Amino acid sequence: MRIVIDTNITFSAILNTNSRIARILLHPRSTFNFYSTNQLLNEIEEHKGKIKQLSDYSDHELTRITKLITGKIRFINVRLISRESFKQAETLTFDVDIDDTEFVALTEHIKGKLWTGDQELQRGLIKKGWNKFINTDELYQKQLRKK
């Protein structure tokens, strides 16, 4: 299964490596394929100070944990996303949350599911008829069934 991960899911995993989210991402025999764009890495870098403050990680610990989590994700260059997928995503997100355009576009492009904790984004896109989401509980249950 192809899963596009947005920033808030990654932040959650970094902040709590014992959480269900982190366990899904770090599972050694996972059958999920996780994807994102470099926007995710940029947002982690942009919010590094806040993450450190919330977590009490040292610089070294934060770097190590970020690499551990992001190492499970395949990063796709945004230029490889089809123009059609990107235009569709822009139409969907322009009045909901334009910052999530790349994640929605990548989800469309790879014919995957978007894993997000952003309830406002979900409500806004569902109103527009787009419901290609998967949540943490669904992923966890799928992972348990595959054991």
The token pair at 70 is: 């992001």
Per residue in 93-141, pLDDT (tens digit) is 999 999 999 999 999 999 999 999 999 999 999 999 999 999 999 999 9
Question: What is the pLDDT at residue 28?
Answer: 83
Contact, 142 vs 1, CB < 8 A?
Answer: yes
User: What top-level class would CATH report for the domain 2-141?
Assistant: alpha beta
Tell me what pLDDT residue 147 has: 57
The beta strand positions in 29-125, using DSSP E, are: 33-36, 73-75, 113-115
Residue 87 CB partners (closer than 8 Å, separation 6+): none
pLDDT at residue 146 tops 80: no
Q: Which of 138, 127, 140 is nearest to 95 (CA)?
A: 127
21-50 residue pLDDT tens: 999 999 888 889 999 999 999 999 999 999
The pLDDT of 70-94, averaged and rounded, is: 96
